[in-house]
Amino acid sequence: MKNFIKNLILLSFLLLSACATQLPVANGIKEISTSDYASLAQSKTEKVEVYSGLYNQLTVSATRMDGEMTEAFLSHSARLLQWTTAQHQTERAKLISQGTEKTDFFISFYTPERKHNDLSSSKSIWKIYLDVNGQRYEGKAVKIKSQLTEVETMYPAHNRWSTPYTVSFPVASAIADGKPAVITFTGTLTSAQLKFK
């Protein structure tokens, strides 16, 4: 009888713990508060600044859009844009499908010379690499053309002096998620690395 009660208490504790870590659900959509979203985004973001003496050559931050961050991104978007359950499911299915082919990072990129801020150009002076699981993948950048307030709401690390990009690497997110990773920016001006645990 004592063992039964102990097991029942342990099971109850485990169930309560599991419930505490889940996002609340409304209309079939997991909910996340603005502050919880900002905290999660911050925990998934790394930043580096490169200087030559007192001269800033490069400031870059990267937010890892892994499974946890993608779910939170969808929940945050659903709340802000008041999506229906069907809209949420459509967007979620699209991101899950894309994740089978690539791993995405949000990049906030600043260089003092505007002409050097050209990650998405075919003639860019920069190369971007992701090192994960002992493999190196070259990234492809796409400039985000949304309004500044939209970008700052979805990616709190971004600021008005930087340019927002999505950088995609040709490796399934299931392979890269939860693994230590390094993003390297390298070019004729300088190089920088962002390390994710």
Helix (H, G, I), strand (E, B) or coil at 11: helix
- Write down the pTM of the prediction: 0.83
Q: Residue 2 above 70 pLDDT?
A: no
Least trusted range by pLDDT, from 1-5, 13-17, 72-76, 124-128: 13-17
Q: Give burial (CB, 10 Å; 0-12/13-18/19+) of 78.
A: buried
Q: Residue 84 above 80 pLDDT?
A: yes
What would you measure as the largest C-alpha separation in the chain, in angstroms?
A: 75
pLDDT on residue 26: 53
Mean pLDDT value across the chain: 86
24 C-beta neighbours (distance < 10 Å), count: 11
88 C-beta neighbours (distance < 10 Å), count: 20
pLDDT band (50, 70, 90) for residue 110: very high
pLDDT on residue 152: 95
